[in-house]
């Protein structure tokens, strides 16, 4: 078993793009929407940024005590601050709960 460290970043630029994309390229059904360049463009353009309600968190699992701390696994996550841009708005549900004195 390899000893590893989990690190959380709020900027994809803090993770080596070659290492990130190598993980993706090793997947049998990889999608372009997970590539480092795409995630960086979302952030750099302001499309997925705190000002639009999206706060990025990128989790990386790094091999401990290896030269350059090799990236073993990674996952992009986004903290969402509102419901705008969702396929289904839940305002009607929230209102119904409120009218019945329930917390939503």
Confidence category of residue 5, pLDDT binned at 50, 70, 90: very high
Residue 24: which residues within 8 A CB-CB, separation 6 or more?
A: 30, 34, 35
Question: Which strand ranges, in their side-by-side order, compose the sheet holding 54-63?
Answer: 4-9, 54-63, 71-80
Separation of alpha carbons 27 and 87, rounded Å: 28
pTM of the model: 0.76
For residue range 8-63, what is the model confidence (pLDDT) as tens digits? 999 999 999 999 999 999 999 989 999 999 999 999 999 888 888 889 999 999 99
Of 49, 55, 63, give the one whose Cα is nearest residue 19. 63
Pick from 48-52, 63-67, 97-101: least confident: 63-67
> Is the confidence at residue 1, as pLDDT, over 70?
no
């Amino acid at each position: 078993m390899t000893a590893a460290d989990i690190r959380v970043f709020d900027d994809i630029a803090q993770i080596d793009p070659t290492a990130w994309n190598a993980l993706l390229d090793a997947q049998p059904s990889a999608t372009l929407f997970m590539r480092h360049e795409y995630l960086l463009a979302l952030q750099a353009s302001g499309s997925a940024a705190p000002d639009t309600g999206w706060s990025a968190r990128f989790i990386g699992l790094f091999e401990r005590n290896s030269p350059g701390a090799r990236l073993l696994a990674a996952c992009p996550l986004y903290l969402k601050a509102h419901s705008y841009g969702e396929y289904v708005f839940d305002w009607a549900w929230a209102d119904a709960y409120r009218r019945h004195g329930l917390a939503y």
